[in-house]
Amino acid sequence: MQKIGPWFDEARTSQDRWSALPPFSLQTFDTALNAQAIGVRSFDPEIQSEARSTLDQLLELDRTVGALAPAFGVRGGAANGMAALKRFIADGLNEYGEKKADKSLGAQSTLSAWLHFGMLSPAQILDDIFDYLGDSENSSTKQNSLFSGLELKRPTVAAFVEQLVVRRELAANLCRFNHLYDKWEGLPNWSRASLLKHASDTRLWRYSALELETAETHDSYWNAAQQQLRKSGFIHNHMRMYWGKKILEWSKTPEEAFYTAIRLNDRWALDGRDANGYAGVAWCFGTHDRPWTERPIFGMVRYMNDKGLERKFKMAPYLEKWLS
């Protein structure tokens, strides 16, 4: 992130800059740093219990969201994160590039929560992937040159690495160099101007923030995405884009839409309050994208609709899973 420099708008530029960097090492640590190693003693349970309400107030924690159902199999901790990583490498990595968008299969890594809480590191994930591939050269040097030729040799792996490294670093770059990353004013000038130009356009559907949060819209695809977010703490990558675009389309103003999307993602996503989440929401409003053909409501911001979902993906299993 530091080597690439100040934040920029187009995602393609990020990959080009990354590939152009001279080789550098991705550092890993040989010794595990646990509580005993760094001299941290455990806290008295009574102190923890008494301090909880005070800490909740100081940290503004929202306990009304509640815990996820065990059926989703997501548990915190480094050991559970490593187990999830091993399952993904064994069962999902070789299909990632081809089937990641098939929502009926749910072919995603779902590692973002453990990455968000620091229970997994990108360097560790790359290490394990290279071990799995038997790539001793890249495993020992761990250089950014890993991108050269990987798309040709292992396109499915390249697709995942692009998300893990390039897209993740692009999001970190946005938050590092644009201090308005979670504000309406932090969006590109062209997209804000275009959206404001069309702010008074007639909207066929309009929903309040509460109706959106409780998935009470006319659009079953959107409702399924919101229910996936609420029930599992995750939302499929492509559906997250559709989700954000429709919030823009159905809100009173584009600015209101932006803050609604930020709030819902921060509240319900396991990896909310994270650079990836802020960049993902901002993308729906033009960040890391280019101007498109001007149209009502969206202006020159990229448009998405339900017909596009139906052309590309199997939607029936997705609806059955999340709306049942």
| Total domains in the fold of the chain | 2
The pLDDT confidence band at residue 135, using thresholds 50, 70 and 90, is low
Which of 148, 177, 206 marks a domain boundary? 177
Q: Mean of the per-residue pLDDT values for the chain?
A: 83
**Residue 35: domain span:** 11-177
Domain-embedded: residue 4: no
Q: Are 160 and 292 part of one and the same domain?
A: no
Q: Average pLDDT, stretch 72-83?
A: 86
pLDDT value of position 141: 46
- The CATH number of residue 198's host domain is 1.10.579.10
Listed range (80-84, 141-145, 190-194) with the worst mean pLDDT: 141-145
Q: How far is residue 116's CA from residue 262's CA, in Å, rounded to a whole number?
A: 16
DSSP symbol at 163: I
Measured in whole angstroms, how far is the alpha carbon of residue 183 from the centre of its chain? 18
Q: Average pLDDT, stretch 178-200?
A: 97
pTM: 0.84
Q: How far is residue 315's CA from residue 310's CA, in Å, rounded to a whole number?
A: 7
**Looking at per-residue confidence, does 108 or 263 come out higher?**
263
Neighbours of 296 (CB within 10 A): 12
Q: Are 17 and 134 part of one and the same domain?
A: yes
213-252, pLDDT tens digit by residue?
A: 999 999 999 999 999 999 999 998 889 999 999 999 999 9
Q: Are 108 and 168 part of one and the same domain?
A: yes
pLDDT value of position 212: 98
Q: Are 188 and 205 part of one and the same domain?
A: yes
Domain-embedded: residue 78: yes
Q: Are 162 and 274 part of one and the same domain?
A: no
Which of 177, 206, 224 marks a domain boundary? 177
